[in-house]
Chain A
Amino acid sequence: MLPADFLKAGIKVSIRFDLKKSIAGFDIDASLSLEEELMVLFGPSGAGKTLLLKLIAGIIKPDKGTVAIRGDKVFDSGERIDVPMRGRRVGFVFQDYALFPHMTIGENIAYGIPEKKDALAAEAVRGLVDLMRLTGLEQRYPREISGGQRQRAALARTLAAKPGILLLDEPFSALDYQVREKLRADLLRIHEVYPVTTLLVTHDLEEAFMLGARIAVINHGRIEQVGPREEVFYRPVTRNVARFIGFKNIFDGVVAGIDANGLIIHNSDMGAVRADAPSGGGVAVGGRVTFCIRPEDIVVVRPDKTAVLSSPSNVFDAYVESITGKGSTQMLFLKVGYSHVAGERGASIKAELPNFVVRKLGLCAGMKIRVLLKKESIRVIA
């Protein structure tokens, strides 16, 4: 067991920051606030995720802005506050773990323990070794253990210093798939035992969805959307966010009409498309909008079975260009709104279907089908 005070160290710690930094032609300008939770900072490579973590930790000095941990300012360019790294109580796990190669795993974990009393420190190490499934490896050196064990050792070392907040930089990116799955589950379990406020950086969509109760999406140094997982995943507020979170079908259109049923959007390839109006409003007849739909939300119907569809709207003729297997599902590359000549104009749509559906419908490349874009599955971005 961990000593009781370990469990209290990181509880109810808020982080608030508002930072600006220009570095090597890259601008970052981001503000965020999180509290007692595991938040995922999600974005593509080069979006500024790691840089943002380094600015919060004090590894790189921001040009302007503030960082407050538990309400205490640790950086404020206006008031000239700049608490050095050692005073911020920020736990930071680097992407390649940065374990000290000349120390054993036990020594690594004990390194940051603030307790002076050996007995307490030893107890804390035992508790963390146990929690991180590292029993028996205390005497090994980092080069003598596996990648997954190194990752857990790095996390144990960081937690041993009783950080107020925890910053994790792509903690699982260097590991293979199976190990990653297990460690993600470990992280959630540890977060329950030790609910330290955590900001985890990843470019992996699945990881973001699995770990983040709340998700912040960052692109080009700007945070484009922050919200609960479902909110971000199903209601992206920008075209970029939609793209990053897997809305592979993104189209432009003009609002042709608004009625009690929602919007009628005109798209040059598909014609009239019906969609629910975005909850935030901001759409008007004649206005340009972006609308998008996830590949797994597209319903594929054989042309001879159209009768099963209850509503005739948003049903389009389509042509299967190709099919690519993705393991348990298959990705169909479709042309919608084609004029009976393959490849001529038409919107490209990707539909993801389970293997058994593809088999049952007998789908193959070159086939003519119909697709239904369910009105409630379409997300409109004003």
Chain B
Amino acid sequence: MDFFPLYLTIKVSFTATVITAAAGLVLSWLLAKKDFFGKTLLDAVIMQPLVMPPTVLGYYLLSALGRGSALGGFLSDTLGIDIVFTWKGAVIASVVSSLPLFVKPAKAAFEGVSVELEDSARLLGKSEFAVVRSITLPLAKRGIAAGAVMAFARATGEFGATLMVAGNIPGVTQTLPIAIYDAAQSGDGFTANILVGIITVFSLTVLYVAGRFLKGRD
């Protein structure tokens, strides 16, 4: 029994969640608290992976990051970073597909922090950064935590986009969902059953924990 897919899935999901949370916090704060040109468009672009087939998303990423593209060529030739068909590709696919699941609850949580509380802090002499750190973030923390859990769960289940960008290389880029597909295709019902069992228990646990976060008291 090869547990590499499980190890890789945890590594990819964890890395992707950190990146998603960092980018998602900035994006959801901007969308919730600031007015700027192109805000609605930015919101739509972030949410698009929710409604687009993951293969289409993967195809976009493959085109953008492959060595044949300007960005992919630059990363590979100048910085020596290869994205496509590496675990980094799987991370990027997970980030893009989990971002909307983070931004939705985080943005709602930021919007729920009253401007009056933030203005009170400003009037008490606090800078914008201090206001975010001491008022906005603590009061939005429940929605942010829920978003992070959802993003992590989405990243562990990522299949289509990951397959397109990272491929299915056993021991290199074969994540849990891809390994299940592989096992089922090759008639290895034993492996498929075990992996399916793991991911079922895992995702149920994650959703339960997320639910507790959202329902819990302040």
Contacts and interface: CB of A to CB of B under 8 A. Distances in A.
Interface of A: 57, 59, 84-92, 94, 96, 98, 100-102, 111-112, 114, 157-158, 161
The secondary-structure label for the interface of chain A is loop
B123 A86 contact: yes
B120 A94 contact: yes
B52 interface: no
A86 B127 contact: yes
Interface stretch (B15-23, B88-96, B111-119): B111-119
- Chain B: interface size category: 10 to 19
Contacts, number: 53
Nearest to B134: A111
B116 A86 contact: no
A92 B135 contact: no
Interface string B129-152: 000001100110000000000000
The secondary-structure label for the interface of chain B is helix
Nearest to A112: B124
A94 B126 contact: no
Nearest to A89: B125
A86 B126 contact: yes
Contacts of A112: 121, 124-126
B35 interface: no
A175 to B, nearest CB: 18
B125 A161 contact: yes
B39 interface: no
Top-10 shortest CB links A-B: A112-B124, A85-B122, A98-B120, A98-B116, A161-B124, A92-B123, A86-B125, A102-B138, A85-B123, A86-B122
Contacts of B2: none
Contacts of B125: 86-87, 89, 112, 114, 161
Nearest to A163: B123
17 contacts: A59-B119, A59-B123, A86-B123, A87-B125, A90-B123, A91-B123, A98-B116, A98-B120, A100-B120, A100-B139, A101-B218, A102-B139, A114-B125, A157-B124, A158-B124, A161-B123, A161-B125
Contacts of B121: 100, 111-112
B138 A84 contact: no
